[in-house]
Amino acid sequence: MRITQHDIARKANVSQSTVSRVLAGDAKVDASLRRRVQEVLEAENYFRNARAAGLRKRSSAQVGVVLKRPARSLEGDPFVSVLVSCMTEVLRPADYHLCVEVASSSAEQAHIYEQLLRSDRVDGVVVLEPEMRDARFAQLLEDRFPFVVVGDPGEVAVPSVDNDNVMAGALATRHLLEAGCARVGMIAGPDEVRFSEDRIRGYVQAMRAAGQPPRVWHSAFGPRAARETARRAFDEDAPPDALVVLDDAMALGAVSEAQRLGLRVPEDLALVGFNDSGLCELVEGGLSSVALNIEDLIRKATEELLEMMRGRKPIRRTRELVPCSLVARRSSARGGRA
């Protein structure tokens, strides 16, 4: 049995409500009483029971986040680590805690959301990987439940924070053009994948602005698929001398294929990836990459959620784009305009 305010009250010879007041920092408690109580609190190493306090205050001091894990692909996703770190980093000073759930299907996801909200286990949620006509939004809005979307929620009027993927695509492309590359191509992801499409838009914009014809190859995710795609690209009549590649892992696939063909990086092929992940180290001299500043994104989203939970901010359409930045390494060091 844990120690309660009642126990403290007895030992300090005051009423339990006085103990509660001292803990709350109530200014109108007599100094001597306060000291007595605080000494006992210290001595007994008292911590307030979170559940009881929450029951009374009608709040859990917890926020939730629901990950989606397609089927059984447990392959360590580095994003989760960043998500958890950044969220707790913001939540902790505000005395909030993080409850993480994992859904393996859409049906389960829906149930988890419902349970999370209606059982009052959390005071707010961060919604990941929004889908086009996302059933979660209606439910959350109807319940007036505080939430923030990370990603692109589409047309619905909800609070969201996102990368600027268009800018990211343009940034990578301009960088290669400025390095003097003559035929900058892009290896993108599968069709209809939102962030891929956005980066393509940025790429195309930048190419058009430079008066160059864009050239995009679609590829499945992963380094292996990207290697195959790169092979197709190098097989063409006028193969690219630079590639913007959808992410770092895929860029490594392209590098590996280039090496197989005896192409030198960056002399024969310059590359820029996305995410600025640890993978960039795997290329000798480093892989240039667009840092999406996911950390900032998560922190922003969490801060906004906090504001909403505190009732200082209404739950309404809001769209913040976190700027990205280019980390130049050897893979794109072609040295000035050709």
Partner DNA sequence: CTGTTAGCGCCTTCAA
Partner DNA sequence: TTGAAGGCGCTAACAG
- Please give the Cα distance from 89 to 67 (Å, whole number): 18
Alpha-carbon distance values, 58 to 41, 52, 53, 61, 308 (Å): 25, 10, 8, 9, 16
Give the one residue of 35, 39, 43, 49 binding DNA; rule: CB under 7 A: 49
For 305, the token pair is 């959620």
For 334, other C-beta atoms within 10 Å of its C-beta total: 19
Give the one residue of 29, 110, 156, 282 binding its own copies; rule: CB under 8 A: 282
40 binds DNA (CB under 7 A): no
115 binds its own copies (CB under 8 A): yes
16 binds DNA (CB under 7 A): yes
267 binds its own copies (CB under 8 A): no
Task: Name the nearest CA neighbour of 64 among 90, 96, 98.
Answer: 98
124 binds its own copies (CB under 8 A): no
For 270, the token pair is 């310059």
28 binds DNA (CB under 7 A): yes
Site string for DNA, 189-228 (x = CB under 7 A): ----------------------------------------
Q: In a 3-state reduction of DSSP, which class is residue 256?
A: helix
* Residue 69, contacted partner among its own copies, DNA, none, CB below 5-8 A by kind: its own copies
**In sequence order, what DSSP letters do the residues of 121-138 get, joined into one string?**
--SEEEEES--TT-HHHH
Task: Name the nearest CA neighbour of 229 among 203, 248, 196, 257.
Answer: 257
**In sequence order, what DSSP letters do the residues of 171-187 get, joined into one string?**
HHHHHHHHTT-SSEEEE
* Residue 78, contacted partner among DNA, its own copies, none, CB below 5-8 A by kind: its own copies
Tell me which DSSP letter residue 267 carries.
T
* Residue 84, contacted partner among its own copies, DNA, none, CB below 5-8 A by kind: its own copies
Burial class (CB in 10 A: 0-12, 13-18, 19+), 107: exposed
- Residue 309: CB minimum distance to DNA, A: 15
Residues of this chain, 131-190, that bind its own copies according to CB under 8 A: none
Task: Name the nearest CA neighbour of 127 among 194, 139, 176, 333.
Answer: 139
43 binds DNA (CB under 7 A): no
Residues of this chain, 53-92, that bind its own copies according to CB under 8 A: 54-55, 60, 62, 67, 69, 74-82, 84-86, 88-89, 92
- Please give the Cα distance from 328 to 291 (Å, whole number): 10
Contact between 217 and 186 under an 8 Å Cβ cutoff? The reply is yes
Backbone φ/ψ region at 240: left (φ over 0), alpha (ψ -120 to 50), beta: beta
Choice between 26 and 236, CB closer to DNA: 26
The sign of the torsion formed by the CA atoms of 78, 81, 84, 85 equals negative
Choice between 12 and 226, CB closer to DNA: 12
6 binds DNA (CB under 7 A): yes
Choice between 57 and 337, CB closer to DNA: 57
Q: Which residues contact 174 (CB under 8 A, 6 or more apart)?
A: 206, 210
175 binds DNA (CB under 7 A): no
- Residue 267: CB minimum distance to its own copies, A: 16
Count the site residues for its own copies by CB under 8 A: 58
* Residue 76, contacted partner among DNA, its own copies, none, CB below 5-8 A by kind: its own copies
Which parts of this chain interact with its own copies (CB under 8 A)? 2, 45-52, 54-55, 60, 62, 67, 69, 74-82, 84-86, 88-89, 92, 97-102, 104, 114-115, 118-121, 222-224, 249, 252-253, 256, 259-260, 277-278, 281-282, 284, 295
Q: Which residues bind DNA (CB under 7 A)?
A: 1-2, 4-6, 14-18, 20-21, 23-24, 28-30, 32-34, 48-49, 52-53, 55-58
